[in-house]
Amino acid sequence: MSAPISNAKIHDLVTQRLGQAPTPSTTAALKADSGPAFEAILENRLKLSGHAKTRLSSREIELGKAEWDRVMSGVERAAQKGARESLVLLDDIALLVSIKNRTVITAVDKANLKENVFTNIDSAVLV
């Protein structure tokens, strides 16, 4: 006979496939462990360079999950078109993104956008 399944997520998947309801203890364990923080999820999809982190902080630019999802959708669209370095324009914020590396290189807010010239980009994405 096989050993019992100790991982709550695997246990629930197996029991669902067998048509059994998950046990309350495993369901509670899953709710207690809601998963990684949003920043960790973002980090797996889109990285921030040290320079970009500094710029976001110094310019007090804060983006929520919805905004980062919009940025990521723009990055994915640019990648589909073969872009390498894109200027992603999100409302009043401009992000320079390396599409190949999925890395935000820098961030500029509306107050600092005047008289800025963005070089070495091959595309612009409005999100």
pTM of the model: 0.66
> Domain coordinates of the chain in residue numbers?
1-35, 45-126
CA 45 to chain centre: 5
pLDDT in tens, 15-63: 666 655 544 444 344 344 444 555 665 666 899 999 999 999 999 999 9
The predicted pLDDT at position 112 comes to: 87
The predicted pLDDT at position 12 comes to: 65
Between 99 and 30, where is the model more confident?
99
Smallest Cα–Cα separation from 124: which of 69, 72, 85, 86? Answer: 86
Contact between 111 and 73 under an 8 Å Cβ cutoff? The reply is no
Residue 51 has a CB neighbour count (10 Å cut-off) of: 13
Dihedral, CA atoms, 83, 52, 48, 98, nearest 10 degrees? 10
The predicted pLDDT at position 121 comes to: 95
Q: Which fold has domain 45-126?
A: YaeB-like fold (3.30.2310)
Predicted confidence band of residue 101 (pLDDT cuts 50, 70, 90): very high
Averaged pLDDT of the chain? 79
Residue type, 2: S
